[in-house]
Structure 1
Amino acid sequence: MLQGTSSFRPKTAMKASASLSVVSVFLLCSSTVASQACDQFAAVGGNFTVPLGHRLRLPDILKWKLNGSVIFYRRTMRMVVGKNDDINQDGSLKLTNLQKDQAGLYTSEVLDRSGRLQTTRDTNLCVLDPVKKPEVKASCQDGNVIFHCVSGAQPADVEHEWLQNGAKVKENRRWFETKAEETKGAEFVCKVSNKFSSETSEPVIHNCAETGYPGELAGINIWVLTGARVGFIVVLTVLVSVCFVRVEKKMTRGLKDEEELPFQRTDTEHRSRDPHFFPLQHHDLRS
C-alpha cells in the first residue's frame, strides 16, 4: 500500500504540474492578446497625442515608455531623457510624422518628488496605412445598373459605404446592383474608411435608363429589337450583292462587245480590198 501510495503521489504531482503549466500558458496567451488590442489608431505620416490622464504638478516626475523602453524622463524640471518639445504643457506625449515602428504600448508614469508612484496609464497605439480615394464606375445590364467602387490597393480592414443623393444605401460591398429606371438622375458616391481615415469618391450619375440596354425599351423586348436589326442587315446584304452581280454582268457584256467590234471592222476592210469581191448593187437586188 505504501509503495502504491508512494507511486501514486508522483503521478498526481505530475498531473498538477501539467495543469499548472497549461493555465500559465493560457494566462500568458490571454495577456499577449489583450496587449495587442488597439486603444487608439493613427495614420502613417500623421500626428497623434497620447493622453496622460493626470493633472501634473510642478515637482512631479514624468516618464513615458514605449514597449517598456524609456523615451522621455523629466525629473523636477530637469531633463534626463528626451526634450521638452516631446510633450505638451499637460504632460501628454506628442507624436509627429508617425511611422509603423512607432506603434505599440505607451506607458505614462507620474511620481512625486520622493519617487513614489502617483499614477500610471497604458495606451496601445496602432499605426495603420490610410485609405485611398476611390472611384465609382457604372455598367448597364438587363435594365439594371451595377456600381463598382474602384480604389486600388487598400488596407485589409477597409470598409465600404454607398450614398445615394447623400443618404446611406444598405450596401457595404465593393459593388451593388439596382434598377436603372428607379435611380435615373440620382448621384451615387462610394466611401471607404477604416478606424482612423476615410475617403469619398466623386459623385456619379448613370445613364443606363437613357442609352443603356435595358430588358425592355418602350415596351418592346430587347430580343425583338435585336432580331429586327439582324433581319435588316441580312436584307441589306442581299440587295447589295444583287446590285453588285448585275453591275458585274453589264461590265462583262460591254467588254465582250468592245472586243468583237474591231474584228468585224477588220473583216469588212479585208473583203473590200479583194478584187473578186463586188458589193451588191441596188439593181441586182431587183433582179
Structure 2
Amino acid sequence: MKASASLSVVSVFLLCSSTVASQACDQFAAVGGNFTVPLGHRLRLPDILKWKLNGSVIFYRRTMRMVVGKNDDINQDGSLKLTNLQKDQAGLYTSEVLDRSGRLQTTRDTNLCVLDPVKKPEVKASCQDGNVIFHCVSGAQPADVEHEWLQNGAKMKENRRWFETKAEETKGAEFVCKVSNKFSSETSEPVIHNCAETGYPDELAGINIWVLTGARVGFIVVLTVLVSVCFVRVEKKMTMGLKDEEELPFQRTDTEHRSRDPHFFPLQHHDLRS
C-alpha cells in the first residue's frame, strides 16, 4: 500500500516537472517579427523532413515530393522560416528527420514564445528642493519589461521607472532610460535637467518653463512701455502748466501799462456797433 502511494507521488511529481519543462521558453520572438527555428541536423537529399507545431504537422516533405506546406516554408538547410509572427504561432516546434525507409534519424524540440516588443520611452525631469526626479515614461509595456538608466553613457544602479538625485551634482549630465525584455529593447533620447540653474521644473502644469519665461519677459516689456508713456504725458502736462504760469504776469503788466497811457482809449461797446 505504501509502495503504491509512493509510486503515485513520484508519478505526479514527474508529470508536473514535465509540464513545467514543456512550458519553458527556449527562444523568444517579437510580434510582427521574423524567426528561424533551427533544425540542428545536416540534411541530406534523400531524407524525409517533418515540422510539427504542438503536435500538428505543418510541413512534410518526402524526398523531393511535397506533402504538407511549400518549399518556401524552409531554408536550404531545412530550418523552418517564420515571418510576421503572431501570438498564435507560439508553442512547441518539433523537427523530425527520417531516412528513405522512414526510420527516425533525429528529432529536436524548440519552445518558441512570441511576445509584444517594448515601446520607445521618454524621459521627463522635475525639480524639487534642490533635487531632480527623472521619470521614464513609456506608456503600456509588456509585463516582463525591465528598466535601465544611463548617465553620460555609463550604466547606473537604478532599475526602476524613476529615481531621484542631487541637482547640483548632476548638472550638465545626460540621462537616458532604456527598456527591454527577452528579445527587444528601446532607448529614450538623452535629457539634461536645468534644476541647478533655475530651481524650476522643465514643465509646470504641462506648460514648458521656457514658454512661461517668455510670457513673463513679454509682460515686463509691455509694463515698462506703459509706465514710460504715462511718465512722458505727466511730464508734458507739468511743463505746459509752468509755461502758462510764467506768461500770466507778463499779460497783466502789459494791460496795466496801456491803461495808464493818456492816449489809450479802451474800446467801447457803441464802437463795436459802428
State the alpha-carbon separation in 2 of the partners of residues 204 and 224 from structure 1. 18
The Cα of 1:18 is off from its aligned counterpart by 2.5
Give 3-state SS (helix, strand or coil) of 2:253's partner.
Answer: helix
The answer for the alignment partner of 2:194 in structure 1 is 207
Q: CA deviation at 1:254?
A: 22
Task: Provide the C-alpha distance between the structure 2 equivalents of 1:143 and 1:186, rounded to a whole number of angstroms.
Answer: 16
Residue 244 of structure 1 deviates from its aligned partner by: 20
Asked whether the 8 Å contact 2:27–2:110 carries over to 1, the reply is yes
Deviations 1:173-222 (A, max 9, x none): 11111111111111111000000000111111100001116999999999
- TM-score w.r.t. length of structure 2: 0.73
Q: Distance in 1 between matches of 2:205 and 2:117?
A: 47
Q: 1:246-282, CA deviations, whole angstroms, 9 ceiling, x for partnerless residues?
A: 9999999999999999999999999999999999999
Partners of 2:180 and 2:202 lie apart in 1 by: 35
Is the Cα contact below 8 Å between 1:142 and 1:214 reproduced in 2?
Answer: no
Q: Which of these two proteins has the greater Rg computed from alpha carbons? A: 1
Q: Structure 2 regions of 5+ residues with no counterpart?
A: none
Counterpart secondary structure, 1:25? helix
Separation in 2 of the partners of 1:128 and 1:208? 39
The 8 Å contact of residues 144 and 214 in structure 1, kept in 2 or not, is answered as: no
Q: Displacement, 1:65?
A: 0.5
Indicate how the Cα distance of structure 1 residues 180 and 220 shifts in structure 2: closer, same or farther if over 3 A, else same.
farther
> What is the TM-score normalised by the length of structure 1?
0.70
For 2:51, what is the secondary structure of its paired residue?
strand
Identify if the C-alpha distance between structure 1 residues 143 and 81 changes in structure 2 by more than 3 Å, giving closer, same or farther. same
- Same amino acid, percent of matched pairs: 99
CA displacement, residues 25-46 of structure 1 (integer Å, 9 cap, x when unaligned): 1111100000011000000011
CA distance in 1, matches of 2:211, 2:72: 76
Q: Per-residue deviation at 1:116? A: 1.1
User: CA 1:229 to 1:127, structure 2 compared with 1: closer, same or farther past 3 Å?
Assistant: closer
CA RMSD of the aligned region, Å? 9.3
CA separation of 1:221/1:191 partners in 2, compared to 1, >3 Å: closer, same or farther? closer
Please tell me whether the aligned partners of residues 36 and 124 of structure 1 are also in contact (alpha carbons under 8 angstroms). yes
Q: Give secondary structure in 1 for the equivalent of 2:39.
A: coil
